[in-house]
Amino acid sequence: MPTCYSAPKTHPAFPHFFKDLKDPRRTVKGNHLYPLEEILFLSISAVISGADSWTSISLFGRSKLDWLRKWYPYPHRTPSHDVLGRVFSALDPEVFNRCFISWVDSIAQLTSGEVIAVDGKTICRSADKTAGKSAFHVVSAFASTNGLCLGQVAVDSKSNEITAIPQLLELLALKGIHPTNPILRVVS
């Protein structure tokens, strides 16, 4: 039995912030069922809700389809974990990062005098010794009061987190932060 869809109430800000992110799929022939905007909205909503893998994002989509349809039509339901993984692996990570940070910046208000924790981490199981690839390192900025990760920057494989921190701070354009990392006092 076909489902009747009411007009979704897409918030105009969400697509606006991701307009520079190009769909990496071949879109001319219309051979994909899931618009990039729907994939992004599903994935970000799921991760905010605690999803931490493509499978858990896909499960979130199936279980919250009625809620998702309040914002986007999802006429073909939600994509599988395979589709999500393929689409995200083909996206330009720097453009996605800029779009995501500008969207977060538009919806999050930092508390006056809030501490922004900046720290580097190694992503577990990201090394591939057989392929000669070392582990993947990122530097993150975390708004402690709001409990929100404001952004991440990958650390160049031939460098360390000290060189990535200024990039992260510039990307976030934070004013008046209180660095928790002692190195930041020297770098910033």
Domain boundaries, given as residue ranges, for the chain: 13-91, 108-187
Distance, C-alpha 180 to centroid of its chain: 23
List the single range of 17-31, 45-59, 85-99, 159-173 with lowest mean pLDDT.
Answer: 159-173
- Confirm whether pTM is higher than 0.75: no
Say yes or no to pLDDT of 183 above 50: no
Give the chain's largest Cα–Cα span.
64
Rounded CA separation 172/110 (Å): 12
Helix H segments across the chain?
Answer: 13-17, 36-48, 54-63, 65-68, 81-90, 93-107, 161-172, 182-187
- Structure letter (DSSP) for residue 27: T
pLDDT in tens, 112-129: 667 778 888 877 777 777
Mean pLDDT of 129-133: 76
Q: Enter the DSSP assignment of 188.
A: -
Determine the average pLDDT of the residues in 41-63. Answer: 92
For 184, residues 6+ apart whose C-beta sits below 8 A from its C-beta are: 118, 165
- Measure the CA–CA gap between 34 and 11, rounded to whole angstroms: 18
pLDDT, tens digit, 9 for 90 and up, residues 66-76: 999 999 999 99
